């Protein structure tokens, strides 16, 4: 400190602080030997508090206003100094201005991934970040517990102090909530309020009030993101066969528009073959399912082709009653286990039916 600063400190009688940094929480008013004259003018602006410290001990705290420093308005300091009947000479004391305004957009984040158990993806590692707003609601306690003798204490130092506490409470809140990762985004507000309520008592112990707490994003490792994207894609596609046919048709159209010679033609032929196989598979899927197998131990039943249409199934007794009408040895039949439709007279199970039919009556 130069000679002019020393002279100015000895004769100055106005104590005030104009903050132009926007991030200073505590500022120590500097003067030569910390000497304050009797009757000095103290100006404390809105969103400020002035804390007098005597030999390392917090004394009087002044809120917004203009004060003339006398024994009457400094009861604690007067007691510490032993001023029973007032004072006239300069006295030594440190003056700290504490910024009590709302500090917004304070950042927090997890330096390392947090392990959690997810019902869909098992054990996963998540990272999170967000912001919060705070203010100092007990200047004396904050100066004693956090700022100490730091002549200029900033919001970055507050963030460093709070980060570990916030991450710990975030991990506990997510674990207790048991919310799947996919559904976490819908619960950001509730989780943020829960975390704010849990860290509020710890912050109150050092003179800080947490006004709000926001979770802006919870992210997972790239491999988990890829699994989520794949699951979302499957849900968007819906019918996989229809989607594949659509993709193949687009590829064929692009190949036909591209005058690339044999390469394009080969691609078109290949895609045509794929389309043929897919259409054949689709037709097979549309074919009516085969009749259920007969009850184990029961009599076999047969389907009969009548005028090109499938009828039945019929039991053996029913087929006997149909002889000569819609059923004969030349009728085509099928039952479970047969590869193709077969002439009824060639089926061993049906031969007894035709053997029991009497031969035609000879002409008279």
At 183 the pLDDT is 84
For residue 359, name the pLDDT band (cuts at 50, 70, 90). low
What CA–CA distance (Å, rounded) separates 361 from 364? Answer: 9
Average pLDDT over the chain reads 78
Q: 92-125 pLDDT, tens per residue?
A: 888 999 999 999 889 988 888 888 888 877 888 8
Q: 204-244 pLDDT, tens per residue?
A: 999 999 999 999 988 888 887 787 777 666 666 555 666 67
Map out the domains of the chain as residue ranges.
Answer: 3-99, 103-224, 239-286, 302-355
At 284 the pLDDT is 52
- How is residue 94 annotated by DSSP? E
- Superfamily for the 103-224 domain: Band 7 domain (3.30.479.30)
At 358 the pLDDT is 62
Helices (H) and strands (E) in the chain, counts: 10, 18
**With b meaning 16 or more CB within 10 Å and e meaning fewer, what string describes 62-92?**
beeeebebebeebeebbebbeeeeebeeebe
Instruction: Answer yes or no: are the C-beta atoms of 158 and 208 closer than 8 Å.
Output: yes
At 137 the pLDDT is 93
Instruction: Answer yes or no: are the C-beta atoms of 211 and 135 closer than 8 Å.
Output: yes
Percent of the chain predicted with pLDDT > 90: 16
290 closest CA partner among 347, 339, 350 = 339
- The structure tokens 């149909």 sit at 322
């Amino acid at each position: 400190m130069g000679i002019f600063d020393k002279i100015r400190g000895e004769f100055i009688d106005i104590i005030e602080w104009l903050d132009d940094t926007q991030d200073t929480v505590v500022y120590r008013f500097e003067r030569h030997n910390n000497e304050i004259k009797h009757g000095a003018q103290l100006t404390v602006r809105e969103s400020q508090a002035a804390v007098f410290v005597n030999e390392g001990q917090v004394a009087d705290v002044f809120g917004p206003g203009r004060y003339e420093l006398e024994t009457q308005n400094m009861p604690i300091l007067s007691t510490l100094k032993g001023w029973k009947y007032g004072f006239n000479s300069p006295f030594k004391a440190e003056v700290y201005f504490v910024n009590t305004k709302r500090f917004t957009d304070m950042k927090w984040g997890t330096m390392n991934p947090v392990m959690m158990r997810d019902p869909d993806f098992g054990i996963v590692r998540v990272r999170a970040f967000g912001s919060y707003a705070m203010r100092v609601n007990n200047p004396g306690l904050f100066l004693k517990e956090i700022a100490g003798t730091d002549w200029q204490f900033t919001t970055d130092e507050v963030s460093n102090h709070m980060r570990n506490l916030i991450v710990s409470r975030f991990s506990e809140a997510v674990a207790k909530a048991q919310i799947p990762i996919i559904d976490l985004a819908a619960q950001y507000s509730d989780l943020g309020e829960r975390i704010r309520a849990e860290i509020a008592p710890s912050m109150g112990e050092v003179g800080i009030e947490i006004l709000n707490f926001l979770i802006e994003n919870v992210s997972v490792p790239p491999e988990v993101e890829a699994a989520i994207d794949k699951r979302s894609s499957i849900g968007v596609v819906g019918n996989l066969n229809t989607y594949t046919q659509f993709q193949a048709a687009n590829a064929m159209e692009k190949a036909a528009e591209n005058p690339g010679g044999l390469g394009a033609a080969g691609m078109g032929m290949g895609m045509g073959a794929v389309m043929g196989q897919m259409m054949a598979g689709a037709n097979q899927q549309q074919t009516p399912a085969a009749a259920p197998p007969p009850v184990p131990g029961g009599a076999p039943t047969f389907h009969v082709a009548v005028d090109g249409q499938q009828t039945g199934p019929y039991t053996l007794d029913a087929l006997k009653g149909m002889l000569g009408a819609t059923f004969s040895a030349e009728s085509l039949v099928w039952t479970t286990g047969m590869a193709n439709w077969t002439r009824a007279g060639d089926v061993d199970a049906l031969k007894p039916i035709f053997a029991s039919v009497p031969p035609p009556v000879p002409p008279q």
